[in-house]
Structure 1
Amino acid sequence: MEDHIHILTHVHPTIAVSNLIKDIKLASSDFILKEGVFPDFKGWQDGYGAFTESIKAKERLIKYIKNQEEHHKKVTFLEEYKSLLEEYEIKFDPKFLL
Structure 2
Amino acid sequence: MANTYSQVHLHFIFAPKFRQALISAAWETSLYKYVTGIVEARQHKMIAINGMNDHVHMLVGFRTTQSIGDFMQDVKADSSQWINTNRFCDSRFEWQAGYGVFSYSKSQVPDVIRYIQTQKEHHRRSTFQEEYRSFLEEFEVVYDERYIFKSPQ
Structure with greater strand percent? 2
2:135 to 84, 87, 93: 84
Q: What do residues 9-65 of structure 1 show as CA deviations (whole Å, max 9, x unaligned)? A: 111123211111000001101110111233355300111000011122222111111
Q: Flag structure 1 segments of 5+ consecutive residues without an equivalent.
A: none
Partner SS for 2:59: coil
Residue identity matched to 1:90: V
Q: Which residue of 2 aligns with 1:47?
A: 98
Aligned-partner Cα distance in 1 for 2:120–2:91:
20
Q: Which residue of 2 aligns with 1:64?
A: 115
Aligned-partner Cα distance in 2 for 1:54–1:33:
36
- What is the TM-score with the length of structure 2 in the denominator? 0.59
Aligned-partner Cα distance in 2 for 1:74–1:40:
30
Alpha-carbon contact 2:57-2:116 (below 8 Å) kept: yes
**Percent pairwise identity:** 37
Alpha-carbon contact 2:83-2:93 (below 8 Å) kept: no
Select the structure with the greater relative contact order (CA < 8 A; seq sep ≥ 6): 2
Partner SS for 2:98: coil
Q: Flag structure 2 segments of 5+ consecutive residues without an equivalent.
A: 1-51
Q: Which residue of 1 aligns with 2:76?
A: 25
Runs of 4+ off more than 6 Å:
none
